[in-house]
Amino acid sequence: MLFGLEDRPPIGTGLMVGLQHLLAVFGGLLVAPLIIAGGMNLSLQDTSYLVSAALVISGAATFIQIQRFGPVGSGLLSIQGTSFAFIGPLIAAFYALNGGDDNATALGTLFGSAAVCSVLMMGLSFALPALQRVITPNVTGTTVILLGATLVWTTLTNIQRAYVDAANGGWTVLLLASLVFLTIVGATRFGNPWVRLSSISIGLVVGLMAAQFLGLTDFSRLSELDPLFVPEVARFPLSVDWVIVASLLPIFLISMMESVGDLTATSNLSGLATTGEKYWQRIRGGILGDAANSLMASIFCTFPNTTFSQNNGVIQLTGVCSRYVGFIVAGLLVLLGIFPIVGGVFQLIPDAVLYGATLLLFGMVGYAGVRIVGAGSGQRDDWLLVGCSVAIGWWLSIYINVFDFLPPGVITVIQFPVTTGTFIAIFVEVFRVLFGLRSSVESQG
């Protein structure tokens, strides 16, 4: 490391490295809330609020995670933002609440239910070792595979619908989606590491420029936005739906386990121990920070926060793990968030451009799930467990309406395959632990 965790790099160096961290996450920070808002078919004003709030709260959450307040926070260079894992569940829950008829009430219920999940995760953060016995790579892999599969299927369905509905025959939909897809792939294969880290942002900018050339954007709509943004407490009336809590909780659990991996990698890159009590204090603090930050996000009516793994790549490339660089990133995120025009420009991106980016990203999500399972315990029946959980979860989500004798709340939960598949995988893992059918429990943590 050129600069260690507690080192203070010169302001110029810190700003340069901070900008690299910002580039690495900026595409993801914007794309996640944009996709969610687009999937919910929200107005420009509501979308603008959600995007700006996501940036401001990500900045505040990053500061809390890095600074560490009592037991809250890891004290590591760890950037916070909305995870792609929440995209599908939040959109599905929104429509389960009849969001198209009353967007404000549905959004308030989503954020209130997410707040309950955040509080539950704060309590569960103190039981990490026990949770890791059942939230194994098999469970995480099942969840991530189903997330990737359902989101890819949704994106392909959206592309087909946009193609059919397009007044010009749909060729621009395929052109823009393909252009963005290939641009991101090309950027990730580029020799320069900074280009690779910025591949999502580059793809979106190229797509936006192409859409502008084709006359598919209208920048005059930016005049509808306020010049400055201030997040509001309970902008949407907060309430709790326990069915939605049950639907979202598995995603929070999986996000927790992913954060354990991210924070462990950050500890390792920072030259800190990845075993022992101090290590577990950092991990618990990081998970508690994720949960507390997600609670803050819910109060200010934006989406749950989690650690971003991309920043570990930046630490490795730059040789700088100073948490003071993280403070710079946090400040930049807040600064960008308070100017709605920043997010407003990206809100004008045509759907076809987003489809090209998300098709690739969601495909990589599914592939990541396969890798998670492959890196697990290596037992012969692991893939049988995962395959059955994926297949049964998907089948039940399609045919659950046949079982009309079930309570409506149960049907709503099971209709989302990620939740169903995760619960099945957890049940099987608990069964294996109770009856001693897993030979390498500890190694799976």
Give pLDDT tens digits for 162-206: 888 876 668 888 899 999 999 988 888 877 776 776 777 788 888
> Using CA atoms, how far apart are residues 177 and 288, in angstroms rounded to an integer?
39
Give pLDDT tens digits for 225-250: 777 888 899 899 999 999 889 888 88
Sign of CA dihedral 136, 76, 268, 79: positive
- Between 415 and 283, the more confident residue is 283
Tokens found for residue 106:
């549905």
Give pLDDT tens digits for 4-31: 888 898 988 888 888 878 877 777 788 8
> Using CA atoms, how far apart are residues 221 and 62, in angstroms rounded to an integer?
31
Give pLDDT tens digits for 355-396: 888 788 778 778 877 887 877 666 777 888 888 888 998 898
**What pLDDT band is residue 441 in, cutting at 50, 70 and 90?**
very low
pLDDT number for residue 289: 94
- For 402, which DSSP code? G
Sequence-distant (≥ 6) Cβ neighbours of residue 315 within 8 angstroms:
77, 266, 269, 270, 321
Q: Which class for 175: exposed (0-12), middle (13-18), buried (19 or more C-beta within 10 A)?
A: middle
**What pLDDT band is residue 330 in, cutting at 50, 70 and 90?**
very high
Domain locations in the chain?
11-444
The percentage of residues in the chain with a pLDDT greater than 90, rounded to a whole number, is: 21
Supply the pTM of this predicted model: 0.76
> Could you tell me which residues are beta bridge partners of residue 320?
3
> What's the length of the chain?
445
Sequence-distant (≥ 6) Cβ neighbours of residue 148 within 8 angstroms:
362, 363, 364, 365, 366, 367, 368, 369
pLDDT number for residue 440: 43
Closest CA to 414 of 434, 392, 431: 392
